[in-house]
Amino acid sequence: MNALAEKFAEQDVGSIFIYTHEAHPGENVPHLASMEQKFRHARLLRDELGVTRPILVDALDGACHLAYGSMPNMTWIFARSGLILYKSDWTDAHSVENAIEYFSQVPARRKAGERLAGFRVERLDYRNQERDLFYKRLERNGQKALIEFKKAFPSG
C-alpha cells in the first residue's frame, strides 16, 4: 500500500492508515487498555511493517472502526465530495490499484465529452493469504494469540 500511495500521490490521491486495534492480542501485544498503549501499538505496527503513510489512531472504543463496518482489514476510497467510490472488507493492493486507476480516468472521460452515470458494482476479488507472515505476527503477539487463533480457526 505504501507503493500505491507513492504512485498516486502525483495525481493528488491521498492515503491514510487507520489503526483500530490489535486483531489477535496476546501476552506480548495485549488487548488495548489505554490510548497511550494504543499509540505504542500503532508505532510498533508502523515500524514492523514500514508504513510510510500517515497513521490515524482510532478511539479506544473503536468508534471509527465500528462506523465503517468493523471488518478486520478494510479499505475505503472516497471522492473529495465524500462519495464512497470503493469499499472492501479486505485490503489488497491489486484491487485498490485497479479501483484508483479506474476512478482516476473519470475526469478525462468527462472532459472528452462522455456522459457518465454512476452505478454500484459488487464483485469478488482474490488475495494472497500470506500465511507465513500472518503466523509470524501472531507469534509476535504471543503464544496466547497463536493458540486462540488456532482454536477458533482449526483449518486456518
pLDDT tier at 111, thresholds 50, 70, 90: very high
Mean residue pLDDT of the chain comes to: 93
Residue 41: Cβ within 10 Å count: 19
Cβ proximity of 56 and 18 under 8 Å: yes
Give percent above pLDDT 90 in the chain: 79
* Strands 84-88 and 75-78, sheet pairing: antiparallel
**d(C-alpha 13, C-alpha 6), whole Å:** 9
What pTM was computed for the model? 0.86
DSSP bridge pairs for 88: 75
Cβ proximity of 4 and 20 under 8 Å: no
Total number of domains in the chain: 1
pLDDT score at 114: 98
Query: Domain span at residue 90?
Result: 2-152
Q: What is the pLDDT of residues 21-73, one digit of tens each?
A: 988 999 999 999 999 999 999 999 999 999 999 999 999 999 999 999 999 89
Give percent helix, percent strand, percent coil of the chain, each to the nearest 5. Answer: 45, 10, 45
- Please check the confidence at residue 156 and state whether its pLDDT lies above 70: no
Instruction: Name the residue type at position 156.
Output: G
Residue 43 sits in a domain of what CATH number? 3.40.30
Task: Indicate if the pLDDT at residue 121 is higher than 70.
Answer: yes
* Closest C-alpha to 87, from 121, 51, 113, 127: 121
